Structure 1
Amino acid sequence: MTLVSALPDSESYRVIGSGARPSAFAVSELATASFAAVGQELARLMVSLNLTSSAPDVTVDHRLASLWYGFSFKPEGWEMPSLWDAIAGDYQASDGWIRLHTNLARHRLAALKVLKVDANRDAVAQALKTWAVADLETAIVAEGGATAAMRSRAEWLEHPQGRAMSRDPLIGWHNPRQIMLRDRPEATAERPLQGLRVLDLTRVLAGPIATRTLAGVGAEVLRIDPPGWDEPGVIPDVSLGKHCAYLDLKSPAGMETLQELLSQADVFVHGYRPGALDALGLTQAKRDAIAPNRVEVTLNAYGWQGPWANRRGFDSLVQMSAGIADTGRIWAKADKPTPLPVQALDHATGYLMAAAVLSALAEAAQGNSIMQARLSLARTAELLAILSKSETSEDIENANPTDYARTPEESGSGVGHRLKPALRLSTTDMHWPLPASKLGTSQPVWPTLKP
């Protein structure tokens, strides 16, 4: 089998454009290579489906790939809401730095409960000075919060979870089984995923990037969120090309509807931590019974083995844990954590998830057994840590007007402009007929199956 497991060889695709995101790490090189992974697996799928007689050429625009690792959508005449809660951020404790991730109400309440303060940034900063970072990290995590102490690369590599990461593959493939792909006569070389149904149970940020990518080459993506859920700081960016519906999975009716959607899906992408789907009653055996012919790809923050496999995490926290923010601090000659200029772990993992979906589809089209793919932000961090950085004096920071498509996009949040696609195949241009919608604006049904 040839399921994707690594970044493609740089000689196997064409690169145009130049420059780099300013960083201690090879962020732009990772961006280009992750887009190329999508392109190569898409090309392989097209051959497997007999949409082309030979693999189309893959071209990645290096500058645009770097820009897509930031925000792809620029509002016109209005501003995107802040990505961060007022309490979120880096704080100095008694013996080091720690980051609080408080965008979700329950995570904010957990941190405030441990610190015994109100939701006031100055009060939080003052309370933190009395804590050792290791003790505070342990206490907030035990309370159900999300936080990470800043560690050096050396400390992370000696940490039990850091050692576990050295054993995790970049893309872990598990549970092999034979599947039969549904016929999709509407698929073409121009829109190779046309008619493919992708059920998306992911949230900020890697998973939504994966499904946005699949939508760009024709997939019908249905995103499911709990009633009332919102991510206003990122939704105009990541809901591009998707139908977005609310569904209460903790209710019998909601779970019944989800199971019906899953039974009709070709691809299932989710970001639940180990055991979380089981707790909802959607065990591996249940998923196999409901949707035996699905492709399934998932991710978590800290990997799939080791003591932190069940830990809540986000890109910014993994950067603190894995030594990225500390390495950035040294590189920048700064006195505080210096993260990557963009949330590159999320973006890279998202594009690798999309590549994994395409890889599994290609294997199934050839009659081979497939497996479920597992990825993690922490394992992607290890990939970034060893990636070689190219020498360049041209910084890529902000997009120019020429980087955006001319036609404005009427997103559900307001009008704006979208970056031009960074990836193209000789037969295929990425485009999204559906603008970015707000969450909960569609019904939890497959649009092509509506009566």
Structure 2
Amino acid sequence: MTAAVALLGRMRTGEATSGPVVTSLAPMEHESPEVGRRVDGGRPVDVAERGLGDGASRGAATERGLGDGASRGAATERGLGDGASPVDVAERGLGHGALLGDVAELGDGASPGDEGSAGRGGVIRLAVGSAPAGGAEGGGASALSGAGTADGAAVGSALLASSGVWPSGGEDAAVEAGRDGSAGVTGSVGPRARGQAPTITVDVREAAAAFRDERYFQIDGEVVVGWAPLSGDYRTAGGGWVRLHCNFDHHREAVLRALELPSDAGKEDVINACAGRTAPDIEQAVTDAGGCAAAMRSRAEWHEHPQGRAVAELPLIAFSRLDHQNSQPPAAHSGANSPAPATHRTDAGSSGGGAAGRLRGRPLEGIRVLDLSRVISGPVATRAMASFGADVLRVGAAHLPEVPGLVVSTAFGKRSCELDLRTREGAAAFRELVAGADVIVQAYRPGALDRLGFGPADLAAIRPGIVCVDISAYGHRGPWAGRRGFDSLVQMAAGIAHEGGDGTRPVPLPAQLLDHATGWFAALGAVAGLIRREREGGSWHVQACFARTALWLDELGRIAGGEIGEPDMSDLLDEMDSQFGRLTYVRAPGVIDGVRPYWSSPPPRRGEHPPRW
């Protein structure tokens, strides 16, 4: 995503748009030599094929066409080689009208096992060529896909090239991960017409901390509790498990109705009720009652499930062109209503890094983003865009419940208004906002906004040139396409929690990874849509979902390395004054040309601002 932002910034300032992005990755310091080796497919396969490079020997990724001495175009079967067809391999999601370009050698200049005791790989080089002009033809769908980095920055170059957002021309570029002790993702966006190419860096520790930022977030030194008392995993009849999501009052009420319990029922009541019914029965009953639940399934069960099969047919990030294909990008917005600067620490370790450490003329300045999301994934996407200068206006409603701590922690750099889209006045005010927006990110249940007259096609009619980003739990196809869901539920349904507990009990990932990864993919899709709009005009529809992100994660393989203790991330935290108190938070990851993205304002109070730009 960081690479995509850098490219868009160049395009918006009139700099040359030829040339691909260079990205690379080095492992975190605490990783052992075994970490980074896939163990799921018989022989260990170095995940340098995924760009991880930890202790990887040359030629480790030959199966991907990236091995030592691999000829250019050796990976054509993966859609990575020279001359790959415009409609690429679906499993890699390389998209309609896209050519990723040539793949050069892996491990140039690396000695097998160099610094293996520290778990550090050698230099990894991956040359990625430019896509042809025109990108996707007509209204065909395309997709973005990739692997290997926490926030999507390192794969940004390949994703953008694969989606056809690169302009024509340009030269091959190399990916390098050095052995100098730094841990990070670095890259640059092609040769500039003026000056040097920007250098893009994402430290792996920063990315890992960002994926767990709600665990580090504090208000006046106190950690914010995020789970309601009845939310959790429950053993069911027949040895199964079900997870109930009760963070919102109406979801809790739906659970109690489905379990035939009174409104004042407590934890023990729910435990006893679940013990007498099967997990699939509870899952369906809660869903029918308008609540959120998921039975624990194994990977094999999910892969055979109708929804699991439907998800497997989806690209990681779906990309399609809406109507109004001749629409052009708008004139730059004045930004007069952008949030006022916040008070940051000025020591060298702060996110601002002092005035010299901040992005001046940030690449997304003037881009207006409407945020219609409430929990983690959507707010993470728009918060990331705000850190690069986008004017983000969150649109909530007084009748919609929220999780207070999460709303605060994901609202840095944003403004907040409230509108009831069910009313004539609220709908009219929202149309005015849409008419001046560049991007809309929404994470309501699929079809919810369509029923109010604000589906993607409706929004494109109101504002030709809009980029609509939809985030869902289970995707837009299949029998569960309209089902409510959250990260923890999808981990249960898709086999992640089952595998974590060896099938005997649910053990989730140590982070809300599906939420955060999908949020970053959504942000990447939004920026890629803006790039497409700059190049081709048109309105664009981007779709991402937790279940497809879970499949992407599953496809990355497994690693051996044992338990890793809780890392000390204190050096990655910053502080900011706010109306809520003194906030401690994880700084925005990524650096472009030595300067960091940052949030220019603290989180606002709910509905603090008027509904206007």
Per the normalisation by structure 2, the TM-score is: 0.65
Q: Does 1:204 align with 2:375?
A: yes
| Aligned mate of 1:163, from 305, 309, 325 | 309
- What SS does the aligned partner of 2:549 have? helix
Distance 2:563 2:273 in 1: 42
Report the 3-state secondary structure (helix = DSSP H, G, I; strand = E; otherwise coil) of the residue aligned with 2:152: helix
- 1:132 aligned to 261, 274, 278, which one? 278
Aligned CA distance change for structure 1 residues 175 and 362 (closer, same or farther; 3 Å): closer
Q: How many Å apart are 1:250 and its aligned residue?
A: 1.4
Contact 2:496 2:508 in 1 (8 A): yes
Query: Which residue of structure 1 aligns with residue 120 of structure 2?
Result: none
Matched with 2:236 is 93
Residue 441 of structure 2 corresponds to residue 441 of structure 1: no
Match of 2:551 among 368, 374, 382: 382
Matched, 1:342 2:490: no
Letter in 1 for 2:249: A
Give per-residue Cα distances to partners, 1:85-120, cap 9 Å, x unaligned. 111100001020000001111111111011122330
Tell me the residue number matched to 1:179.
327
Judged with a 3 Å threshold, the aligned counterparts in structure 2 of structure 1 residues 10 and 398 are, in CA distance, closer, same or farther, namely farther
Give the Å deviation of 1:244: 1.1
Residue of structure 1 in register with 2:294 after alignment: 148
Alpha-carbon displacement from aligned partner over 1:171-208 (angstroms, at most 9, x marks no partner): 11123434311233879874011111101111211110
Q: Is the 8 A contact 1:171 1:374 kept in 2?
A: yes
Q: CA deviation at 1:230?
A: 3.0
Question: C-alpha deviations, 1:352-409, integer Å up to 9, x for none?
Answer: 111111111112212355531111100000000011456657836354321223xx21
**Which sits farther off after the overlay, 381-390 or 140-149?**
381-390
Shift of 1:283: 3.8
- Confirm whether residue 112 of structure 1 aligns to residue 112 of structure 2: no
Letter in 2 for 1:110: A
- Provide, for residues 299-348 of structure 1, a one-character-per-residue CA deviation record: whole Å limited to 9, x for no partner: 11001111000000000000000000001111xxx842000101000100
Taking a change above 3 Å as real, the CA distance of residues 411 and 399 of structure 1, as seen in their structure-2 partners, is farther
Question: Relative to structure 1, is the Cα distance of residues 300 and 231 closer, same or farther in structure 2, using a 3 angstrom cutoff?
Answer: same
Structure 1 residues 185 and 86, CA gap change in structure 2 (3 angstroms): closer
Other structure's SS at 2:294 match: strand
SS of equivalent to 2:501: helix
Q: Could you report, residue by residue, the CA deviation over 1:285-305 in whole angstroms, capped at 9, with x for unpaired residues? A: 432221112111111100111
- Whole-angstrom distance in 2 between the partners of 1:444 and 1:20: 48
**Judging changes above 3 Å, is the alpha-carbon distance between structure 1 residues 396 and 389 closer, same or farther for their aligned structure 2 residues?**
farther
Secondary structure of 1:35 counterpart: coil
| Contact 1:156–1:321 under 8 Å retained in 2 | yes
Given that 2:500 and 2:508 are in contact with CA atoms closer than 8 Å, whether structure 1 keeps it comes out as yes
Which amino acid in the other structure matches residue 376 of structure 1? C
Counterparts of 1:323 and 1:57, CA distance in 2: 39
Distance 1:17 1:201, change over 3 A: same
> In the superposition, relative to structure 1, how do residues 76 and 279 fare at CA in structure 2: closer, same or farther (>3 Å)?
closer
1:12 aligns with 2:14: no
Residues 1:185 and 1:249: Cα distance change in structure 2 (over 3 Å): closer
Instruction: Indicate which of 454, 457, 461 corresponds to 1:282.
Output: 454
Over 3 Å counting, the alpha-carbon distance change for 1:361 and 1:385 in structure 2 is: same
Secondary structure in structure 2 of the residue aligned to 1:409: strand
Tell me how far apart the structure 2 counterparts of residues 15 and 223 of structure 1 sit (CA, whole Å).
35
- After superposition, the CA RMSD in angstroms is 3.3
1:32 to 136, 150, 172: 150
**Aligned 8 A contact 1:19 1:393 in 2:** no
Larger Rg: 2
Preserved CA contact (<8 Å) 1:51 1:192: no
Of residues 132-141 and 313-322 in structure 1, the stretch that sits farther from structure 2 once superposed is 132-141
1:102 aligns to 2:220 (yes or no): no
% identical equivalent positions: 35
Q: Evaluate the alpha carbon distance shift between residue 11 and residue 180 of structure 1 in structure 2; reply closer, same or farther with a 3 A threshold.
A: closer
Partners of 1:51 and 1:431 in 2: how far apart?
A: 27
TM-score of the pair, normalised by structure 1: 0.87
1:128-175 deviation line (CA, Å, top 9, x unaligned):
111011111111111111000000000000000001111011011123
Letter matched to residue 12 of structure 1: T
Unaligned runs of 5+ in 2: 5-19, 41-46, 53-146, 168-187, 336-358
Q: 2:522 maps to which residue?
A: 353
Q: What code does the residue aligned with 1:170 have?
A: L
Matched to 2:385, the amino acid is L
Preserved CA contact (<8 Å) 2:441 2:468: yes
Distance (whole Å) between structure 1 residues aligned to residue 607 and residue 267 of structure 2 = 32
Match of 2:578 among 388, 391, 411: 411
Aligned residue identity for 1:297? V
Pick from 452, 459, 463: which aligns with 1:291?
Answer: 463
- The answer to whether the 8 A contact 1:15-1:62 is kept is yes
SS in 2 for 1:296: strand
Tell me: CA distance 1:404–1:285, structure 2 relative to 1, closer, same or farther (3 Å). Answer: closer
Q: Residues of 1 paired with 2:157 and 2:608: CA distance?
A: 31
Q: Could you tell me how far apart the structure 1 residues matched to 2:333 and 2:402 are?
A: 36
CA distance in 1, matches of 2:588, 2:473: 27
For these two proteins, the number of residue pairs brought into alignment is: 433
Contact conserved, 2:465 with 2:538, CA < 8 A, in 1? no
Q: In structure 2, what is the equivalent of residue 244 of structure 1?
A: 416
1:223-265, Cα deviation, whole Å (9 max, x unpaired): 0111164321312220011001111111111111111101111
Residues 385-404 of structure 1 mapped to structure 2, 5 A cutoff: 385-389=554-558, 395=564, 397-404=566-573
How far off its partner does 1:416 sit? 2.3
Q: In 1, Cα distance between the equivalents of 2:275 and 2:443?
A: 34
| CA offsets 1:43-76 (integer angstroms, 9 cap, x no match) | 979979x897675222111011011101265325
SS in 2 for 1:233: helix
Q: Aligned to 1:222, what secondary structure does the other structure show?
A: strand
Work out the CA distance in 2 between the residues paired with 1:439 and 1:239.
Answer: 10
| Cα shift readout 1:430-450 (whole Å, capped 9, x = no counterpart) | 11111122322222111xxxx
The CA distance in 1 between the partners of 2:189 and 2:465, in whole Å, is 20
* Other-structure match for 2:124: none
Distance in 2 of aligned mates of 1:121 and 1:248: 34
Give the corresponding residue for 1:449.
none
The aligned residue for residue 426 of structure 1 is 593
